Structure 1
């Protein structure tokens, strides 16, 4: 497989990570674009000692950490107390947390990506995970047609300190539940029991109020092309508890501070 093919193979998940780290599609894709430009200018920047995917994430991290916009001083002055406490979790611990929990890298791989010792990497991730889960709690609406997955999600978000206001299996159920009690976070499957779309249900709800949304799909690569407005926050099926914690916490924090809180999918 050629170098360009290797890069193309891993780009969708790198886009997912970049969007989760930055909080939106446009910013995340811009950082990925900057990484690709650097790689085109100097192919030797890709360190493949731990494989091409790890090398790409390492190069992306070097680009991300070199830009001053990631400083926590960028948090708006109007941010809530919980958001300000969360902003104290510096980019480095959040990177370690997301690389382990969202992307599933080993501790050794994360240490290489961040250019840190394994012990330090573990401490960074543990700190970020505890603080992110503890600082933001809200009412959650789950839109999921598979019973056992819905039960797992309900248990997970409750263990994170959130309150589940209901589980919807269809577009109609989702709209009805949200109108009765507006959620502070939505976890939404994309294909629902009656053949309707979780994307359509969420977009209908977003016409009346703003809420951060995390989409759940077995095919995340279909929504990580950068070719149109897409969800910024995606969980892949099957998912791990730490993945739900990581993405939900990131969505809550960044979506609350975003002018374009939930990009709609056409």
Structure 2
């Protein structure tokens, strides 16, 4: 999931100031973590808490609880309007969103579980506490399953075929075709396929992030989504990206990442 978080931070300055080139400063002085990071870590903490409390009969409640807990702790992270209303209400009822918030936060699920059916089940649970529209659920499941398949050693053509057949996303256009006319679209159906394409056309983790941001639009979220898949596929994130990313996070967020990496025996990074 650190690959997703780094993508969010690197893309944070380009969301409202798009760049249509891959040649940009990777860490701008104004880079920060946004709601993508906060809610990704909330999902990771929910998974850790789930494991500690009830391994057999988990429901989606823990996801909603952790999203509210972290959202309220970091109220200025840049949440969407509907999520902010949900966050500040007493209600735990979802609001039928198909926004890409469900997809941006889902990467820990792709890393934590060992069977595709479980990944699909848990990504649905994590999405539908807020994003219970079919497209909101589909976006989360597509991202989590791409991460899982990449972890399992599937090649890009196999990942592409699965995503197209299972979720009916079109992945046939190239980034070069998409980039000139692509504009801001915060829906799952309007940003998840583009993020997956950035990964499919890449040759490294960093190249994935550069390609994702060069599309334009919702840059931090597209880079967050693509970055999670790229981490799973390429296995390693360059050390300088890891160190800079961790330096931008506070100690509490880093601790959750540490706990998650140790729990699921992911490659330990050098802090």
TM-score by length of 1: 0.36
More strand by share: 1
Using CA pairs under 8 Å that are at least 6 residues apart, name the structure with larger relative contact order, 1 or 2: 2
Computing the radius of gyration from Cα coordinates, the structure with the larger value is: 1
TM-score by length of 2: 0.35
